[in-house]
Structure 1
Amino acid sequence: MDQTGSFPVKLYVYDLSRGMARQLSPVMLGKQLDGIWHTAIVVHGKEYFFVGEGIVNCAPGGTPLGEPGSIVDLGATEVPEEIFMEYLTSLASSTYRGDKYNLFEHNCNSFSNEVAQFLTGKKIPSYITDLPSEVLSTPFGQALRPLLDSVIINPGGNNITGQR
């Protein structure tokens, strides 16, 4: 495989609520949320994301979530796959180990944002990264926080370090 050149980088965006957030958030939170976002970075022919088991990957669109609700073009990277995998392995053994997962502060969107910046110098859209603080700014979000802190999102995939 040719490891020189430019490789497209995409952000796959999934609504974990499958439209329910848009319908129920005005009543439950007193504000409109368009979705509960799960994101992944697609580069070098695979989809990479962070879940309670750590950093995992699958074929693009290959999680049980199905096809993403939207795909954001983040541009291109010149980081070859080998260097990218070394970077991910380093993250998987430090900042993005499975036990570091937290639904509000350290989740798939934190990972996508960090990896997007590493690959392209660009952040992911703020409507995604601002969602936790929007939810927690409401009385209902604060009341649910103890329960939600124990939630771990895991849409499947293969752990990149081979560990479970």
Structure 2
Amino acid sequence: MMKKKIYITRLPKQSCGICTMFPSCMSLLPRRNEPRPPRPGQAPVVLNVYDMYWTNWYTAGAGVGVFHSGVQVHGSEWAYGGHPYAFTGVFEITPRDERELGEQFRFRQSVHIGYTDFSEEEVRRLVTELGKQFRGDRYHLMNNNCNHFTSAFCLALCDRDIPAWVNRLAYVSSCVPFLQRCLPKEWLTPTALQHSLAAHSRSSSPSSPTTPQ
């Protein structure tokens, strides 16, 4: 009597039935976008986020917080604010020092964005160039605010954008156009920027500031 040979076909390793439709079930899982480790000579780029009023501690969880942000790189923090003159509104402060910004600001958190190859000197040149776009007289809550600046700055430094929640107010204010008129002027011209304006005034010629274009 001949014995029947039983052939066992080995199927590829699968973790579940869905894998027959997709190459791997791992494709269905969210992947964390972790920053790569720095290369020699690179500097970290950090976004420092501030609450701009005490109500943020209650409303930020609902996604309607009012935030200011600055970019920390090479030991300095750079941010943007509005003023009436036709020159840069970008200013420098000590990283995470809410006292330099004014009493309306409270430090909230730091977000690691990535790493940059720019040297400190190159960063300052980049700040000067961005200042031509982010002039004080061009500040606009909806389309040219402090968070638009930090977004452009981070993209230029390390090709990575800031988290979307930081600038959600810009979208909200586009639906409520009069919102900007309701905000305290101190939010648009923080104390640190006022000091920067005073220093600029002392270093400039005695003539009046350039008329905004």
**TM-score bracket relative to the smaller structure:** 0.7 to 0.9
Partner Cα separation in structure 1 for residue 106 and residue 180 of structure 2: 31
**Does the 8 Å CA contact 2:64/2:169 hold for their aligned counterparts?**
no
More strand per residue: 1 or 2?
1
Matched with 1:39 is: 69
Tell which structure's C-alpha radius of gyration is larger: 2
Does the alignment pair 1:9 with 2:45?
yes
Query: Unaligned regions of 5+ residues in structure 2, if any?
Result: 1-39, 84-88, 202-213
> If the length of structure 2 is used for normalisation, what is the TM-score?
0.61
Partner Cα separation in structure 2 for residue 63 and residue 35 of structure 1: 17
Partner letter of residue 58 of structure 1? I
Matched with 2:121 is: 82
What CA deviation, in whole Å up to 9, does each residue of 1:85-136 have, x standing for no partner?
11111222x2011111112211110000000001110000011233221343
Matched with 1:153 is: 188
Question: 1:133 aligned to 156, 168, 171, which one?
Answer: 171
Structure 2 counterparts to residues 5-154 of structure 1, below 5 A: 5-18=41-54, 20-21=55-56, 23=58, 32-53=62-83, 54-64=89-99, 65=101, 68-92=107-131, 94-137=132-175, 141-142=176-177, 144-145=178-179, 147-148=181-182, 151=185, 153-154=188-189
Aligned to 1:41, the other structure's residue is in SS state strand
Deviation (angstroms), 1:21: 4.0
Query: Unaligned regions of 5+ residues in structure 1, if any?
Result: 26-30
Partner Cα separation in structure 2 for residue 130 and residue 8 of structure 1: 25
Partner letter of residue 89 of structure 1? T
Identity among equivalent positions (%) equals: 26
- State the superposition RMSD in angstroms: 2.8
Q: 1:101 to 1:78 in 2, by over 3 A?
A: same
Structure number with the bigger relative contact order (C-alpha 8 A, sep ≥ 6) is 1
